[in-house]
Amino acid sequence: MATAKKYVYFFGPGKADGTAKMKNLLGGKGANLAEMCNLGCPVPAGFTITTEACVYYFENGEKWPKGLKEEVAKQMARLEKMMGRQFGNPANPLLCSVRSGARASMPGMMDTVLNLGLNDQTLPALINMTGNARFAYDSYRRFIAMFGDVVLGVKKAVFDHILESKKQKTGAKFDADLTAESLAEIVEDFKGAVKEKTGKPFPQDPQIQLTMAINAVFGSWNNQRAKDYRKLYNIPVTWGTAVNVQSMVFGNMGNDSGTGVAFTRDPSTGEHRFFGEFLVNAQGEDVVAGIRTPMHVDGMAKVFPEAAKDLLNIAVKLEKHYRDMLDLEFTVQNKKLYMLQARVGKRTAASAVRIAVDMVKEKMISKKEAVKRIEPSQLDQLLHPMIDPKAKRVVLAKGLPASPGAAVGQVVFSSSEARLLAEQGRHPILVRYETSPEDLSGMSVSQGILTVHGGMTSHAAVVARGMGKCCISGAGEIKIDEVHRVFHVGKTVVAAGDWITLDGSSGQVILGKTPLVDPILSGYFDTLMGWADSMRKLGVRANADTPEDAAIARGFGAAGIGLCRTEHMFFAKDRILAVREMIIANNKEARMKALRKLLPMQRSDFKGILKAMEGFPVTIRLLDPPLHEFLPKTHEQIDRVAHEMGIPARDVESRAEQLHEANPMLGHRGCRLGITYMEIYEMQARAIFEATAELLKKKVKALPEVMIPLVGTLKELELCKEMVVRVGKEVEKQRGIKLPIIVGTMIELPRAALCADSIAKEAAFFSFGTNDLTQTTLGLSRDDAGTFLPAYVEKGVFPEDPFVSIDEEGVGQLMQIGVEKGRKVNPKLKVGICGEHGGDPRSVSLCHRLGLDYVSCSPYRIPIARLAAAHASIGEASSGTA
């Protein structure tokens, strides 16, 4: 006969049914309560209902699994026996808390009910047992408010209004100043509010209270807060939450009681010091809610010396046991300490790095464990300014967190406005429906960029990440009125010159100036990254287009450049005119004349970036975007450009119309442009090799790699490669020096991946352009898909935005085919990735598994890629596949 599934696990002093290793079943809170009991810590007894019960509840129309009701009753009887009280007994009542506890820490996201079991019959018994009427009424009013909010759906504001009105009427400054009589009146008012709002009296049967509270905690797994948190931290909805029913201890029993939260190390800095806050005569929610100013936990020794000593000893014991910084919740009742929670503490990135390094020095953990403990995405906090965690926010709108960090500045609606403000020493934030390459000059001087349209790999997002600037894209709630130079969010109007703050890590657009804190890279960071580098197999390069970007990338540990986009150089003020002359030219001779002007400029560009990355390879992509992107779009811009060039405006407009394409992403761009206008690619190749020759003669080790974009057939690569090699040989002969002539291609079309064995015959390297490969594989426009992709992710069509993390099933499979086929005919083929996915930890892991040689990403994401690559290697070794 099969054993019935166990859904409830007991814990009590000195012995528990569970352990810390049962986190998936008991949730973090339940597993850690059990572990503290097993370690002999003073923990109020109780029981945990498993996550499996929660999963069943949601999968079966919010019904309990068979046997759960009986198990709860059995464990409640066991709890009653241990505590010497009975749940619901009007003479000797047992009161309980009901708390959530998922396997991943989700602080404050789900619901809690305290003082369960109080009613009009058990209240007098609590007064008699404690001799403290004020405490009893205070506990009852708290219970009605929490149960009313969490279980019955009566808004917390309803209870807050009643409480504040009573305080004003009686002259009480704090809740603790209210008398027993006032609290008794509040209890009645609270019950009246429940009846008014729900149409039913407040539930008096403790068994009904318990069932309803358990259901409410199960239900809180799917409240909006929890959903948003899970989405942010990639926590699966299928995990569910456990429910912990625990006998109450009271911090609000008087001045010999209290409650607090502590950390075994400082969660902000990582400093090895006991850190926390404590309130006398309070319950747990008072500390979090900020109703009163708590004292530092150090001061607890003056009030409760024995409890403070016990707390410090337990903190040391638990940290040694768990080998990590812990977040502890505790209550003191009648001067005796009780532990309510121990979990691995949330911490800032700076704190996480310091704690990991210190614990290696203290011989608590290994270097491998230290590296694994830092989530790569956490490092964003260290590399960019961030909003002061203590600052208040007035959130206007929310978009996609396209480039991390934070920015405070004044709203401008054009690049020219941004430049003007910047020249005046002010701080612009560029607000656009979307940006184009034309906006580069404005973006470069802006504190941050905010766009209404676009996704995580839109022009604004990619360029901002490369510049290390904060960017929010796809903020669709914003309506721009360019005529009146304002934008609207609902009824709020923000004008040009008004101050806003961007939080690029959360996607929040905040009204007004919000204080920022600057990142500081410590010696702890360097130590940790050194350990990570020793463990990883993947190389890490940068996507960089200027010597300045290259220097930043090198400082962050880049071993080369995996993508240098030459088109970004064309928009500089000193060359855009020559570029436009070349585009508007109606014959080859006229084009060549314009290209001769560009040659020395491009040579200088390449010389600077090759020198900045001396000793490391620099992969230079020849011109990729369609030519119309370099031409003006509005009549005003066309008139200005025509005037600058000294030609009729109709000539500019006519050429722009000729070059216009219905779908430019699949149009006349990349190698198609190079084959039809080979002189453009020839000028760029010459500039690359002449720059290399000049540097080599000066003993600067320049290592260029020429990359042909958008290749889909072998013939396209052959035509372009033949020209590049020819030009390289010509420069060798002219300059009398041997040059590295290395030609490869981007793999950004499905056909290129499928025919990789053919293309690899002529390629020294492959670089997967995963932005375009994602677009062409999934049939998605990265700039337009932002309107529906969030819904697709929410509904589970895609597990994650495919422009943020590589679609492993589709795009990942094409990459695997490309790698295997390419290396089959060319075993020495070097393979990398240069799309923005190169800085995404999940995508880096995929690249490691596919056997790529390197990933390339924007400079400020290089440490993230380095750490993610180390995680991938450690994961491979621990799974036994190394």
Q: What separation, in Å, do the N-terminal and C-terminal C-alpha atoms of the chain show?
A: 43
Tokens of 528: 């940790």
Query: Pairing relation of β-strands 241-247 and 96-102?
Result: antiparallel
Residue with tokens 């010509």: 730
Residues 99/199, Cβ–Cβ less than 8 Å: no
CA distance 121 to 86: 13
Tokens of 155: 């808004």
In sequence order, which residues have a C-beta less than 8 Å from that of residue 788 and are 6 or more positions away? none
Residues 406/427, Cβ–Cβ less than 8 Å: no
CA distance 50 to 5: 11
Catalytically annotated residue among 384, 427, 459, 568? 459
In sequence order, which residues have a C-beta less than 8 Å from that of residue 582 and are 6 or more positions away? 591, 594, 595, 598, 680
CA distance 880 to 882: 6
CA distance 118 to 878: 51
Amino acid letter, 626: P
| CB count in 10 Å sphere of residue 623 | 24
DSSP annotation string for 210-278: HHHHHHHHHHHTTSHHHHHHHHHHT--GGG-EEEEEEE---S-SSTT-EEEEEESS-TTT--SS-EEEE
Query: Pairing relation of β-strands 386-387 and 743-747?
Result: unpaired
459 is catalytic: yes
Amino acid letter, 33: L
Containing H/E element for 79?
helix 68-83
Catalytically annotated residue among 96, 471, 834, 857? 834
Which residues pair with residue 295 across a beta bridge? 278
Question: Could you tell me where the DSSP H helices lie in 698-749?
Answer: 714-735
SS3 for 448?
strand
847 is catalytic: no
- Please choose, from the candidates 450, 458, 385, 467, the residue with its C-alpha nearest in 3D space to the C-alpha of residue 413: 450
Residues 767/834, Cβ–Cβ less than 8 Å: yes
Which residues form the catalytic set?
A: 459, 834
